[in-house]
Amino acid sequence: MSAINTEVGDGVATLTLDRPPVNAVRFEDLTEMLEAFRSVQDRDDVRAVVFTGSGDRAFVAGTDLNELASLTAETAAESVMIVQDLVNLIYSFPVPVISAVNGPALGSGVAIACASDIRIASTKASFILPEVNIGVMGGSAHVARFLPQGRARWMMYTGEPVSCEEAYRFGMVDKVVEPADLMAEARALALTIASKYPPAIRLAKAGLNGSEWLDLRDGYAYECELTVELRRDPGSAEVSRAFLESRTKR
């Protein structure tokens, strides 16, 4: 039975991790997750992605502890690369990825959430880096994009959780909702994104990712280059006209 359920409709792909009871992932599950994202990345009918976990006990509870216990230096290199490829793909995915964080996110689950474009969390969510307690490393680089250095280091050195409320205050989470409202909120946002002109959304994603690591001047120059690229698309002029007409009719 697959660990990932994929549904596509109305321009939105919903990928759900289903590894009861707590969505702890084996390395083969991570490979399935990687393949699930790859399977929708080039589809014209996918303009936004929602990723979540099944149930309400955890979003992604990190790597299965039994597999971690058996890791050697040799097997760790290959196994860690799977996680790295998955997280890197989510970050660089051609369309926006929304993580609907339905419960605690641990280890790789934190990295997956932080690599996504937007995080909507239920009130049951929390974020935990337990790596120092289980003899591995990883996740803090993505966390440090959002949390102050001191808080990120506290989180990494102690393995203590960051609540959804604290994550929201720091901007690590974009919205906190009741558990019953989580998927509706995530899907509504995904549908809004999917309703936009697809080439514009893809270039917006490329612009945000590409400029994140540049200084202000170079980042803005890169975005301006993307404007020129978008205007080469005949459909962009039609989008501009349609928007102008909708404004004048108000």
Instruction: List b or e across 102-133, with b for residues whose CB sees 16 or more CB atoms inside 10 angstroms.
Output: bbbbbbbbbbbbbbbbbbbbbebbbbbbbbee
Of these ranges, 61-65, 78-82, 177-181, the one predicted with the greatest mean pLDDT is: 177-181
Query: pLDDT tens for residues 101-111?
Result: 999 999 999 99
Per-residue pLDDT band for 244 (boundaries 50, 70, 90) equals low
Check residues 14 and 82 and name the one with the higher pLDDT: 14
Sequence-distant (6+) residues with CB within 8 A of 42 are: 94
Across 58-80, average pLDDT = 79
Percent of the chain with pLDDT over 70: 96
* Position 86 confidence tier, pLDDT thresholds 50, 70, 90: very high
Q: DSSP assignment, residue 145?
A: T
Residue 61 has pLDDT above 70, yes or no: yes
Answer with the residue of higher pLDDT: 88 or 237. 88
Do the beta carbons of residue 107 and residue 139 sit within 8 Å? yes
Confidence of residue 136 (pLDDT cuts 50, 70, 90): confident
Q: What is the pLDDT of residues 119-134, one digit of tens each?
A: 999 999 999 998 888 7
Q: How far is the CA of 72 from the CAs of 93, 136, 233, in angstroms?
A: 31, 11, 51
CB atoms under 10 Å from CB of 136, counted, come to: 19
State residue 31's pLDDT score: 93
Tell me how far apart the 2 most distant CA atoms of the chain are, in Å: 66
C-alpha 207/C-alpha 217 separation (Å) is 13
* 220-233 pLDDT, tens digit each: 999 999 988 988 88
Average pLDDT estimate for 47-56: 96
The pLDDT mean for the chain works out to 91
How many CA atoms within 13 Å lie on the side-chain side of 212?
12
Q: Alpha-carbon distance 152 to 142, whole Å?
A: 10
Same CATH topology for 4-194 and 198-248: the answer is no
**Taking the domains of the chain in order of start, what are their residue ranges?**
4-194, 198-248
Q: How confident is the model at residue 142 (pLDDT cuts 50, 70, 90)?
A: very high
pLDDT of the residue at 70? 73
Architecture (CATH level 2) of domain 4-194 = Alpha-Beta Complex (3.90)
Count the residues in the chain: 250
pLDDT at 249 over 80: no
Q: For the domain covering 198-248, report its CATH number.
A: 1.10.12
When pLDDT is averaged across residues 50-67 and rounded to a whole number, the result is: 89
Mean pLDDT, rounded, for 180-198: 97
Q: What is the pLDDT of residue 216?
A: 95
pLDDT in tens, 192-217: 999 999 999 999 999 999 999 999 99
pTM confidence score: 0.92
User: End-to-end CA distance of the chain, in Å?
Assistant: 52
Q: Is the per-residue pLDDT at 62 higher than 80?
A: yes
